[in-house]
Structure 1
């Protein structure tokens, strides 16, 4: 493998930089203007291309599997919902131990093995169809096993990105990754629907062969090598799982995001698992039109990734989360109004709003988690959060399938979409509406004594800190940089003012 250009080498870092740390800085030379992350950071560029290819193939698969079930195997509404649930069930089964194993091992080899496993699993579907042996049980097994590979990949990937990028680059990196994922999803959904209409839905899975191979090649080409994990006493799996769960349960910010993610994914997946059946059987559109409609609505994700940092800089990261996750996804209530002709606009508006809000919120949340979580616990925290966030997905699919069978598809769509803005009320009832910005530093060690509350700072733009160590006017937790006062505790759910400390180190999530 030829050596990359000097500016792209993984080992290029400022003098005195830590060995094994992030590869590149925002400014390459003293006084030089910062360049784009994709141009100056070769390893991130490889990760970005590989992930974009991976997301494209996954989008084709996500549309192709239910289309195969509906059009080729003539599956019922409940069976299609079961297929959607199977891909996410592994998060409930192996999500927690996967987090421990990711923290024990290096992330990049886990990503490589997971991608290779997904490639082989999806390749069995067109082969079985060619042999005339494809069944619904085969599709369910592929979805379940590929979902298990995805558990390890997603957990390792979440823990790997902060090792690759400096903190100053993480917000831009997350925005680019989420934006390209949305664009790849649009291309995958659109082309997958057209392939299904022209050549049959089974052939749509053939795209995965090339995309997963490209993802594997790009991951292999990443030059950054993770530092050797520090030797620490190997404890029982249950103890290490418990450490991640305690971090999630004891911190109000992690807890709020996890509860919101679980509730939101329950209803979002509920209506999405019925979407193909709804559009084909209730609205009466063709398979190709389904792909085009979903792709058009998904352009909201590109817009959301593009504007997330700007909205966070203007409103503050906490307020931006409320706007993006509460106001925009509420447009999903328009989706059940979808009909033929001009009535398709209801789906486009509702789907666009949901996609825009969810992706933009994910950019802000991912950057917050990477900065706020102790690095040695990031794998376990990601897995613990994902068990709640993704564990509710199969439940949502099963619930929607049962409701669709008992009440009909359109009434079930109404129940699921109305739940989207209701789930976002979890954020509104949390400390998020009392502060301008999410914290960027967690001062209390896990299992340690209570320390000062986290400093709320501008996570997306690095807002200024006032004199005395407390946030200034841009930080908004303490007035004009006043010092933290002794013994003065903020009221329930309130933000400390003029130097008062929040009780217990963090604000509590109000009951009810």
Structure 2
């Protein structure tokens, strides 16, 4: 019944479609860009870590400010403008490659610029859904979005692997550029009532403090935020080492790489399908905690896989379990966050959590790159796994378990 009501909303349907197109293109890039860096530009481990960190650096620098600005503005124009600008910047990558002008420093800078636009987009995107659907449908709406995200995670990497083999890594990036254009055009058609509270006097510092206080003074939101920061830090270490492990230890070609990474999408689709059902039956808290545990359990499969086909199969299984954990956890967390936060604070709440999470990712990815050069790929993976186990223990003992 809730799905029927969701799909009856033209605004949600267009929003959902734009998300599907954009995410499919973005998952093509998650395969094409690492392969471009590793195989064409011959990136070192440290350069690879910087590339992984680059799109998230703006979240660390400007994330909380972006939340304030989103709460002051209409969110639809931000979404449309960011998509169209990302289309232009993403198209520059294959253009430079075609003229042999692409290098790792240039790729890192372009990735950081695209990340700046994504910061604005994400802050508005997470705050836009509560204006399209009523509060009681937020968990279901987020579950549908996550299912689409996970489906894109299945299709995008496999498509990218085939495209890279057929036309090269740089040309494959064009798919993501076009997806941003199509997403922006779809979002431009969404009709939504966007009232904006306009206080008589605006104080950027006070508004930032209000957003931070809302997140970190609430016991459940604070637990969600802090365990998330730790999760992103150690997952960034592991996920920086993993692509290089696939290419340089398991010698995966582009198609095998893409199919292996796509297994996370299979797990994510299953997790998102089960998420709200499990939440209603078992309670949101236990399901969220289970999701925190599944991620390190998935990564544990990688070091025991050995080499060759067996190693690739184990990495695929690890990706599946990883995606399953995120799939059952994320819709419930997002629905809770959006449900308890007033509209005037939605942008600041989402940007606060996302900026510090992405800031943790920046530090973790940079450290992960250095660790792969310093102690090796396998050891770097173990550092990431150990930290993810620690955050799962913390989540289990935190107020997260009390979410109904």
TM range (shorter): over 0.9
What's the CA shift string for 1:179-201, capped at 9, x where partnerless? 10111122111111111122210
The answer on whether the counterparts of 1:329 and 1:358 sit within 8 Å (CA) in structure 2 is no
Q: CA deviation at 1:115?
A: 0.8
SS at structure 1 position matched to 2:188: helix
Match of 2:171 among 203, 224, 227: 203
Q: Is the 8 A contact 2:294 2:324 kept in 1?
A: no
Q: Is the 8 A contact 1:57 1:211 kept in 2?
A: yes
Per-residue displacement from partner, 1:460-485 (whole Å, max 9, x unpaired)? xxxxxxxxxxxxxxxxxxxxxxxxxx
- For structure 2, the residue ranges without an aligned partner over 5 or more in a row are none
Aligned counterparts, 1:339-358, within 5 A: 339-358=307-326
CA distance in 1, matches of 2:296, 2:375: 24
Give 1:87 deviation, angstroms. Answer: 0.8
Kept after mapping to 2: 8 A contact 1:259/1:388: no
Structure 2 distance, partners of 1:43, 1:426, is: 39
Deviation at 1:375, TM superposition (A): 1.7
Give SS of 1:222's match.
coil
User: Which SS does the other structure have where 2:193 is aligned?
Assistant: coil
**Among candidates 273, 276, 293, match of residue 309 of structure 1:** 276
What's the offset of the Cα at 1:71?
1.2
**Separation in 2 of the partners of 1:286 and 1:321?**
35
Aligned to 1:455: none
Alignment match, 2:114: 146
| 2:51 matches 1:51 | no
Separation in 2 of the partners of 1:243 and 1:168?
Answer: 25
> Which residue in 2 is equivalent to 1:276?
243
When you count helix as a share of all residues, which structure comes out higher? 2
In 1, distance between residues paired with 2:32 and 2:295? Answer: 28
User: Residue 387 in 1 paired to residue 376 in 2?
Assistant: no
> d(CA) in 1 for partners of 2:335 and 2:112?
29
Return the alpha-carbon distance in structure 1 between the equivalents of residues 176 and 301 of structure 2: 33
- Is this contact kept in 2: 1:175–1:306, CA < 8 A? yes
Aligned-partner Cα distance in 2 for 1:328–1:276? 17
Q: 2:255 — aligned with what?
A: 288
Helix, strand or coil at the partner of 2:300: helix
Q: Would the aligned equivalents of 1:122 and 1:205 in 2 still touch at CA under 8 Å?
A: yes
Are the aligned partners of 1:244 and 1:380 in contact in 2 as well (CA < 8 Å)? yes
Which structure has more RCO (C-alpha within 8 Å, separation ≥ 6)? 2
Is residue 47–residue 222 contact of structure 1 (8 Å, CA) maintained in 2?
A: yes
| Candidates 76, 80, 101, aligned match of 1:112 | 80
Alignment of structure 1 residues 53-202 onto 2, 5 Å: 53-202=21-170
Given the alignment of the two structures, is residue 332 of structure 1 paired with residue 272 of structure 2, yes or no? no
Aligned residues: 403
Cα deviation for residue 39 of structure 1 reads: 3.5
CA distance in 2, matches of 1:292, 1:426: 33
Q: Is the 8 A contact 2:274 2:328 kept in 1?
A: yes
CA contact (8 A) 2:80 2:185 kept: no
**Residues 37 and 172, structure 1, Cα contact 8 Å, conserved in 2:** no
Runs of 4+ more than 4 Å apart: none
TM-score (norm 1): 0.76
Among 271, 285, 298, the alignment partner of 1:318 is 285
Deviations 1:89-139 (A, max 9, x none): 110111011000000001000111111111111000111111221111211
Pair 1:38–1:167, CA change in 2 (3 A): closer
Tell me what 2:204 maps to: 237
Matched residue, 2:366: 398
Determine the C-alpha separation between the residues in 1 that align with 2:256 and 2:398.
Answer: 41
| Distance apart, 1:69 and its partner CA | 1.0
Deviation for aligned residue 1:67: 1.1
Q: In 1, distance between residues paired with 2:208 and 2:355? A: 12
For 2:266, the equivalent position in structure 1 comes to 299
> Which residues in structure 2 correspond to 1:448-487 (within 5 Å)?
458=404
Are the structure 2 counterparts of residues 37 and 53 from structure 1 closer, same or farther at C-alpha, using a change threshold of 3 Å?
Answer: farther
**Aligned counterpart, 2:222:** 255
Deviations along 1:293-346, one digit per CA (max 9) or x if unpaired, are 111233111111100011101111111111222245423111122321223232
1:215 and 2:183 matched? yes
Alignment RMSD: 1.5
In structure 2, what is the Cα distance between the partners aligned to 1:409 and 1:298? 24
Contact 1:332–1:417, Cα closer than 8 Å, also in 2? yes
Cα distance between partner residues in 1 of 2:303 and 2:42: 23
Paired residue secondary structure (1:285): coil
